[in-house]
Amino acid sequence: MAEPSVDVDRELEVLETELKRLEAEYNMFFSGRLPRPPWETRGRVDALVKRLDRMRPTNYGERFRFTTLQSRFAAFVDLWDRGLRAREEGRAGPFAPPRPMAEKATRARDRILTVATFSDPMREMEKVQDLYESLAEARREAGQDAIPFHKFAELIKTQVGAFRDKGSDEVTFRVALKDGKIAFTARAMRGARKSER
């Protein structure tokens, strides 16, 4: 009975490795170090995801890990496709190189650019992606490098978990412009307390 679980675990390891490779290859493509998109690697990852989906992991841990990787792949595919579309249409997309910071941007007044509240980021991937794009766009305009999406999603998950441990079920993230620099902050929602069990 342990044999199928070992196979699923091995497949999940391969999927995770291939997904990291695919992300690196897309980053190289969008930065101009690869002449064309990594279609072969993407095809392999897509086939792995479909094969694992058919295997239907029975172990809760494996199922959770697969769902996380599957969601991450879907979010990346959407991001990459939008980047490719933007490039084909000749407009700045999510992977456009940072523009030089305008002089007036340094004197811009402080303002809040985006606010998003999360209680379970793994189930709110669209909101995570929207917040990521808002932060990435703000950082580009300020002349700062973008953060890789997987690191950003992990940060959101970690922060929500840390606030949950302190007794708050909801966490608000804010992207703001302060003194010409981008500030990204997390705060517990007031009055959002963990319910007693």
- The confidence score (pLDDT) of residue 97 equals 63
pLDDT, position 38: 92
For every one of its 197 residues, what pLDDT tens digit does the chain have, with 9 covering 90 and above?
444 556 888 888 999 999 999 999 988 888 888 889 999 999 999 999 999 888 877 788 888 989 999 999 999 999 888 888 888 887 777 776 666 555 444 445 678 888 888 888 888 888 888 899 888 888 888 788 888 888 898 999 999 988 888 888 889 999 888 877 888 888 887 654 444 43
Task: Give me the pLDDT at residue 89, please.
Answer: 80
Q: What DSSP line would sit under the chain, residue for residue? A: -HHHHHHHHHHHHHHHHHHHHHHHHHHHHHTTSSSS--HHHHHHHHHHHHHHHHH---SHHHHHHHHHHHHHHHHHHHHHHHHHHHHHHTS--TTPPPPPPPHHHHTPPPEEEEEEEES-GGG-HHHHHHHHHHHHHHHHHTTPPPPPHHHHHHHHHHHHHHHHHTT-S-EEEEEEEETTEEEEEEEEPTT--PPP-
pLDDT attached to residue 14: 92
Q: Where are the domains of the chain?
A: 2-89, 103-188
What pLDDT score does 102 carry? 52
pLDDT score for 194: 45
pLDDT at 32: 84
